[in-house]
Structure 1
Amino acid sequence: MTLRMVSAFLILFTIICPQAWDTYAQAQDATLMTVGGKDVSSDEFIYLLGKGNSTGTASSGVSREEFDENLDLFINYKLKVREAEALGLDESQEFKLEFDSFKESLKAPFLIKNTIEDGELRKAYSRMQEVVRASHILFQFPPNASADDSLIVLKMALKVKQEIQNGGDINALALEYSEDPSAKVNKGDLGYFTALQMVQPFEDAAFNLQAGQVSDPVLTSFGYHIIRVQDRQPNPGQVQVSHILVRVDENNPNSEDQARRKISDIYTEIQKPTTIWEDIVKNYSEDPATSQKGGLLPWFSVGNMIPEFEMAAFSLTEIGEVSPPVKTRYGYHILRLEEKKPIDSFEDMEDMIRSRILKDSRSTMIQAQVLAIQKARYGFEENEAIVDQLRSNLNTKPKSSFLGEIDRLGLEDAVLFTLQGKSYTSKDLLTYLADSEVVPRARGGTFDIWYDRYSGSLLAEAEEKDLEANNKEYSMLLKEYHDGILLFSLMNEEVWQKGLLDSLGQKSFFEQNIANYQWKDRVNSLVVQVLDSSKKDQAVAFLKDKSYSPALVEEFEASFQVPNPLAFKFNAGLLEIAENAALAKADLNQKYQELTVDGQTYLIVLGEKVAAGPKDFDETRGPVIRDYQEYLDQQLIANLKQKYPVKVNNSAKEEAFVAINQ
C-alpha cells in the first residue's frame, strides 16, 4: 500500500481492533446502514475492522465503546466516499488509471498460478541459503531494435567476454562498456545478493557460476549481461545494528573535512570504557529517525542496504562490537552490532517468496500451466484448423500485414476459439492488434506471439471476473482500495489543499482562536550544555562577564563549538522558559549562571525577558494550518450528514458486534 493509501485509511480507523479476516468471513452479509439512501453492508464494516488489527496477536474482543467509536469513524468514511461518488471523482481519468494500477497488484495473490508454484518457491528458498557477489557489464538494445541490432549487441558482449577471459579486469571494462548507470559509481560490482533480488535470467546465470567464472551473454529485459561471480558464501541471515551518522553537505566544500574530523572524534570517544553508546548517539548522530532510540535500525539481510554499509554490518561478529568509520553516499557511519539471526524457515518465508515470485519475471515460467488450467476452467475451445492456417501464413510476416493477409484468405469472420460460450473471430484479433501499441518481447512466430497474447488476455479477464464475482475477500479488497482512493481525492480537494492554500481562511481561523496560539514567558538566552568537562573552564571564562546578544552567540559558536564539536551543545535566541529544562531551573534575575540539571552542566547567559502573549500569525503558521484543516474536516462531515441522512440498522449493528466478539 502506498503512503497515499495509508494516509487515507488512517483517517478511517484510529483504534486497533481485535478480529482479522476469519471473523469477517463468518459474518452475515446484512445491510448495516444506508447513507443518503445507499446501502452499506455489515461485512464491509467488519472487514475493515479486521484490517485494523496490525499487531497480528489474538485478543479477547472489542469493547462496546471501541465498537461505537469505530462505527462513527466508518460512518464519516462512507459519507465522504458517497460525496466523492456524487461529485463524479470515480469517473475521472486520474482515478481510473490509479485504481486499475492497484487492481493489477491486488489480484496477483488470488490467481490460479498461486496454487502451482510450489516448485519455484522451493527452488528460491534453496538458493537463499547462499549469497553471491557478482560484477556485470550491461549491453542494452537500441529503441525498436531489429534482429540485426540484437546481433550487433550480442557480438559486442561476446567480444568483451573474451577480453575478460584474456585477463581483462571486469570492473575496469564495466566503466568503459557498461550501460548500467550505476556502473559509474560501483564499476559493475553489485555486491552480495541472493535469490529473488535480481531478474530471473540474471539470477539463474549467477547461481550456476562458481567463483571466478564468467558467463556467456545473458539475455534479460534490460539487454545482454556478462557476469563474473566474485564470491559465494553461506547466507549470513539477518543482522540488526545501531549506528551514528555524520552527514556530508555536498554544497559545502568544507563539509567533508568537518564530517571526517567529527566522526574521528566520535570514534575516539567511543573507545573510552566509560562511554555510553546511547548518549553518544543522542548527542552526535545526525540521523533524526534513530538518534533518539540509540541509533537502532530494523533487521536487514544481504541485498537490502547499500553495499558499503551492508559489508561493514555483516563483518561484525561479536554483539556490541563497533566498526571503524564507514563512508557511504549519506556521510560517515559508525556501526554497533546488536544481534544476528540465521535465515528464517521456509514456512516463515513462504508467503514473502510467493509474493515476490508473482511480481517477478519468473512467473512466465509457470504461465503455460496457468493457461492450461484457465482453458479447462472457462471452456476454451480452439478452432485448430483455422488457427493452423493463419499460423502457416502469418508467422513469418509482420503484424502490419495481418489485415491484408486475413482479408486475402477470406478468414475475417472465421472463429478462432470460443470462451465461456462466446466466439472470437479473426476480426476480433485484428481489433486487439490495432489497440496494442507495445510490441511483446517473446520468441516465436509473429502470429503465435500475438495470438497467445490475445487469447491469454481474454483468459486472464475471465479469471478476474470470476474472482470479483465469487471470491469475497478479493472483492472486498478491491472495494477498500476503490473507496480509499476516492476518500483521499475528496480530502485532498476539500480539506488538505484548501487548508494549505486558503490564506484568508487561515488568518480568520487564527484570529477566532487566538487563545490557542500563545507564547509562554520567554527570555533572550544562550544555553550551553557542557559535554566535555575538560573544556568547561575556557567557556566559563569567556561567558561569565558577557551580556546576551546575537553577536555573543556567533562568537561562542566560532570560538568553541566549531573547533570542539563534541565538547558543547547549545541553544540560543528568544526561548520559552518553561519549555527549556535548564531555563526552568534558572534564576532569571542573573545575567550569567552555571547550574546542573539531571546530571548535566549548563552555562546560561540571559538577556531581556518577554512576557507571555499572543503569537504573530507567521510565528505559528504551521500549527494554524494543521488546526484549520481539522476544522475543515469537521465542517465537511457536518455538512455531509445534512446532505446524506444516515440510518443505522440496529439489528444488523448488534449482529456485527456479536460477530466481532465471537
Structure 2
Amino acid sequence: MKKFLISTLLLAIWAGHAESLPDSIAMIVGDKKVSVAEFLFSAEKNGETNLTDKKNLESFVQLFGNFKLKVADAEAQGLDQTQAFKDELDKYKAELLSSYLSDKEAEEAVVAQEYTRMGELLDLSHILFFLPEQTVSKDTVAVYQRALEVYNRIQRGEDLESVGKELMKEDPKHVGYEHVRAFGPMKTVKAFEDKVYGMADGALSMPFRTKLGFHIVKLHRRIPNPGRREVAHILIPFKQDSVVRSDEETHQLAESLYQQIQQGADFGKLARQYSADKASAQKDGRLPVFGLGEMVQDFERVAFALQDTGEVSAPFRTPFGYHIVKLLQKLDVPALSDVQKRWHRQMAQGEWNFALYKGFDDRLKQEYHYTFYPEAYAELQALCDDYFPTDKAFWEKAEPLNKTLARIDTVDFKQNEFAAYIVRCPFSVKTYSGDFMQEVYDLFVREILTNMERKNLPKKHPEYELLLNEYRDGILLFNISNDKIWNKPMAEQKALEEAWIQELRAKYPVKVNWKALEKAVK
C-alpha cells in the first residue's frame, strides 16, 4: 500500500498535461523541454541500466527531475550568463570538438613510429647550400648545380669535411658545413631527418632539398643509443680570474684533488671549493642529465665509459681545462610515455603536422568523396616557376583561373578560390614556392573537410550535443549547489536540500511524459 501511495503521489506531482507531449520529449521542467535521448543518456551515465523496472524508472525520474529543477533555478538566477561560466563552457567545448575533429589513435601511432628511431643515433657530416627565404624554381637551378658539382668532387675521392670547411671559409653566407656526432629524432626539419635515417652506413647522398637549402650528407655510422648519464664534475680551468696556469700546472692541481677523492675526501665539498663551473659547484658538481651529442666529445667519452655508480674518473683534458667526473646514475633511453606529449606538441607545428594528422585527413577525404584535379593544380604549379605564392603577381595571374581544383561532397572548389585562400592564410614554413603552395593547399583542403565535419557533428555523433549539455548543466548544478547547500554546515545540508527541492517544485512545474518513457525503456 505504501509503495502504491508513493507512486501515485509522484505521478500526481509530475504529470500535468504530459499526454499532449510527443514521444521524443521526456519531460518539461519549467518551460524547458527535455528530450528522451537526454534522459536515457543521463540514466546510462549514472549506471541506471534496468529502467524497465517501474520502481527504478520512477526513482530515476525523480532524481533526474530534481537535477533539472536545480539547473532551472541556476538559469533563473543568471548563472549561465556569467563570464566565468561562459569561459569554462567554451574551454570544454573546444576540448570536446578536438576529440571529434581528430584521430587520436592515428596520431599516437605517428608519434610511436617516430619513437622507433630513438634506438640509434647517427654520426654524420653535411654540407648545406643555403637558399633564399622565398625561392621560386628558377632560383634553385644555380644552387643545385653548385651542390651537384661538389657532390661529384666528393664522389671522385675528395674528403667531404675538407671540402665543406673550404667552401664555408670561402663563402660563409651561402655554404655551411657541420659534423654531427649524435643526430637523433625530432632535432631538425622532417625532410632532413627522413632522408638521413633512410641512408645506409657510409653512404653519400645526392643533393636534396629542405626548407634550409640543398644538403649533401655523409652518414658515417649508426650508434646504438646508450641512454643518458647524470654526473658530477670538478673543473680546473687553465685561466681563473687573473690566474693563468700552464697545462702541467692545471693537471697537477686536478690530480691532487683526484688523489684526495681516492683517499676518501668528499667529492661535493671539493667541487664547491675548487670547481670553476659555479652553476654546478653549488650543487656539489651535479650537472643536468645528458645524452650523446650534448656535451663536448672528450667529456662525453669519459662520462659514458664510467660503469658503476659512484665511480670517479682520473683527470682528463677538454678545451675548458681538466675535469674529474663522478658517475651519479645511468639512465635508459627516455620511454615513449616520457616524450609523447612533448613530441605531439612539436609535431603539431610546421611540416610535421601533415604526418601527424594524415590519418584524420585521409578518413575525411574518403568520407566526403574528395576528388583532386591534377591538371588544374599543374596550372597553379607553373606559376610557382616565376612567382612565390604570396607575391601580388601570383594572385594577379591566378585570379582569372576558374577550373575545378577539387570536389568535396559534391561541392566544386575553383583554382581562384584556392588562390584567394593563399592570400588570406599564407601559413607554411617552406621557403621553396612549390613546397609552400603544396602545404597551403593541404591546409585549404583540411579546413574545408573540418568545417563540413563540424557542421555534421550533431547528425553523425548525437552524443556530442548530449555531452556538451551535460557539462553545461553540471557547471550550473555545481555553482548553485555550492551557494545553496555545500558551503553550509554539514549537519544542516540534508534539511536545506529537502526544503530547496520543495521550493523548486512550487516554482517550476514539471510535466513527465510517462508514456514516452515507458515506451523508450522497453
The question of a shared fold, defined as TM-score above 0.5 by the shorter chain, is answered with yes
State the Cα deviation string for residues 530-555 of structure 1 (Å, max 9, x = none): xxxxxxxxxxxxxxxxxxxxxxxxxx
Q: Which residue is equivalent to 2:483?
A: 650
Q: Is the 8 A contact 1:397 1:446 kept in 2?
A: no
In the alignment, does 2:477 pair up with 1:433?
Answer: no
Closer/same/farther in 2, CA of residues 131 and 324 from structure 1, 3 Å limit: farther
Task: Report SS of the residue matched to 1:227.
Answer: strand
Q: Which residue is equivalent to 1:625?
A: none
Task: Report SS of the residue matched to 1:290.
Answer: helix
Correspondence list, 1:216-615, <5 A = 216-245=206-235, 257=245, 261=249, 264-272=252-260, 273-319=263-309, 320-327=311-318, 333-346=323-336, 349-359=339-349, 361-365=351-355, 367-375=357-365, 390-391=376-377, 393-398=379-384, 400=393, 403=396, 407=400, 411=402, 428-435=417-424, 451-459=441-449
In the alignment, does 2:145 pair up with 1:126?
Answer: no
- Superposition deviation, residue 340 in structure 1: 1.1
Task: Report SS of the residue matched to 1:162.
Answer: helix
- Superposition deviation, residue 129 in structure 1: 1.6
Q: Which residue is equivalent to 1:152?
A: 142
Q: Is the 8 A contact 1:172 1:187 kept in 2?
A: no
- Superposition deviation, residue 228 in structure 1: 1.7
Q: Is the 8 A contact 2:229 2:331 kept in 1?
A: yes
Moved more, 391-400 or 314-323: 391-400
Q: Is the 8 A contact 1:175 1:183 kept in 2?
A: no
- Superposition deviation, residue 123 in structure 1: 3.6
For residues 109 and 181 of structure 1, the distance between their equivalents in structure 2, rounded to whole angstroms, comes to: 50
Task: Report SS of the residue matched to 2:84.
Answer: strand
- Superposition deviation, residue 460 in structure 1: 5.8
- The residue identity in structure 2 corresponding to 1:432 is Y
Task: Report SS of the residue matched to 1:167.
Answer: coil
Q: Is the 8 A contact 1:34 1:40 kept in 2?
A: no
For residues 327 and 268 of structure 1, the distance between their equivalents in structure 2, rounded to whole angstroms, comes to: 18
Extract unaligned runs of 5+ from structure 1. Answer: 1-24, 48-102, 475-646, 658-662
Q: Which residue is equivalent to 2:106?
A: 116
In the alignment, does 2:205 pair up with 1:215?
Answer: yes
Q: Is the 8 A contact 1:137 1:180 kept in 2?
A: no
Extract unaligned runs of 5+ from structure 2. Answer: 1-44, 47-66, 458-462, 469-479, 491-522
Moved more, 450-459 or 141-150: 450-459
Closer/same/farther in 2, CA of residues 209 and 149 from structure 1, 3 Å limit: same
For residues 133 and 466 of structure 1, the distance between their equivalents in structure 2, rounded to whole angstroms, comes to: 50
Task: Report SS of the residue matched to 2:383.
Answer: coil
Q: Is the 8 A contact 2:107 2:357 kept in 1?
A: no
Moved more, 263-272 or 352-361: 352-361
Task: Report SS of the residue matched to 1:317.
Answer: coil
Task: Report SS of the residue matched to 1:125.
Answer: helix
For residues 461 and 328 of structure 1, the distance between their equivalents in structure 2, rounded to whole angstroms, comes to: 58
Q: Is the 8 A contact 2:118 2:184 kept in 1?
A: yes
Task: Report SS of the residue matched to 2:204.
Answer: coil
- The residue identity in structure 2 corresponding to 1:40 is A
For residues 445 and 183 of structure 1, the distance between their equivalents in structure 2, rounded to whole angstroms, comes to: 23
- Superposition deviation, residue 246 in structure 1: 5.1
Q: Is the 8 A contact 2:133 2:431 kept in 1?
A: no
Q: Which residue is equivalent to 2:152?
A: 162
Task: Report SS of the residue matched to 1:299.
Answer: coil
- The residue identity in structure 2 corresponding to 1:139 is F
For residues 110 and 456 of structure 2, the distance between their equivalents in structure 1, rounded to whole angstroms, comes to: 26
For residues 248 and 155 of structure 2, the distance between their equivalents in structure 1, rounded to whole angstroms, comes to: 40
State the Cα deviation string for residues 406-463 of structure 1 (Å, max 9, x = none): 54x6x49x896568x9986666444323345677557869987764443334446778
- The residue identity in structure 2 corresponding to 1:244 is I
For residues 243 and 182 of structure 1, the distance between their equivalents in structure 2, rounded to whole angstroms, comes to: 36
Closer/same/farther in 2, CA of residues 290 and 648 from structure 1, 3 Å limit: farther
Determine what percentage of the aligned residue pairs are the same residue. Answer: 22
Closer/same/farther in 2, CA of residues 390 and 163 from structure 1, 3 Å limit: closer
- Superposition deviation, residue 264 in structure 1: 4.8
Correspondence list, 1:72-83, <5 A = none
Q: Which residue is equivalent to 1:566?
A: none
Q: Is the 8 A contact 1:326 1:332 kept in 2?
A: yes
Q: Is the 8 A contact 1:375 1:459 kept in 2?
A: yes
* Equivalent of 1:173 in 139, 143, 163: 163
Normalised by the length of structure 1, the TM-score is 0.46
Q: Is the 8 A contact 2:238 2:244 kept in 1?
A: yes
Correspondence list, 1:7-46, <5 A = 38-41=82-85
Bigger radius of gyration among the two:
2
Q: Which residue is equivalent to 1:81?
A: none
Closer/same/farther in 2, CA of residues 160 and 403 from structure 1, 3 Å limit: closer
Closer/same/farther in 2, CA of residues 200 and 392 from structure 1, 3 Å limit: closer
Normalised by the length of structure 2, the TM-score is 0.57
Q: Is the 8 A contact 1:132 1:233 kept in 2?
A: yes
- Superposition deviation, residue 204 in structure 1: 3.1
- Superposition deviation, residue 191 in structure 1: 1.6
Aligned residues: 387
- Superposition deviation, residue 181 in structure 1: 11
Q: Which residue is equivalent to 1:522?
A: none
For residues 171 and 304 of structure 1, the distance between their equivalents in structure 2, rounded to whole angstroms, comes to: 21
State the Cα deviation string for residues 448-498 of structure 1 (Å, max 9, x = none): 77644433344467789999x979999xxxxxxxxxxxxxxxxxxxxxxxx
Task: Report SS of the residue matched to 2:361.
Answer: helix
- Superposition deviation, residue 138 in structure 1: 1.0
- Superposition deviation, residue 121 in structure 1: 3.6
Task: Report SS of the residue matched to 2:203.
Answer: coil
Q: Higher relative CO (CA 8 A, sep ≥ 6), structure 1 or 2? A: 2
For residues 464 and 179 of structure 1, the distance between their equivalents in structure 2, rounded to whole angstroms, comes to: 55
Q: Which residue is equivalent to 2:128?
A: 138
Q: Is the 8 A contact 2:230 2:289 kept in 1?
A: yes
- The residue identity in structure 2 corresponding to 1:322 is S
Q: Is the 8 A contact 1:212 1:231 kept in 2?
A: yes
For residues 453 and 319 of structure 2, the distance between their equivalents in structure 1, rounded to whole angstroms, comes to: 47
- The residue identity in structure 2 corresponding to 1:242 is A
State the Cα deviation string for residues 232-289 of structure 1 (Å, max 9, x = none): 2221112111122456889x7x666489955751342222324221110121224444
Moved more, 107-116 or 353-362: 107-116
Q: Is the 8 A contact 2:121 2:222 kept in 1?
A: yes
- The residue identity in structure 2 corresponding to 1:157 is A
Q: Is the 8 A contact 1:316 1:323 kept in 2?
A: no
State the Cα deviation string for residues 505-537 of structure 1 (Å, max 9, x = none): xxxxxxxxxxxxxxxxxxxxxxxxxxxxxxxxx
CA RMSD of aligned residues (A): 5.4
- The residue identity in structure 1 corresponding to 2:313 is V
In the alignment, does 2:226 pair up with 1:201?
Answer: no
State the Cα deviation string for residues 77-120 of structure 1 (Å, max 9, x = none): xxxxxxxxxxxxxxxxxxxxxxxxxx9xxx99997254214554
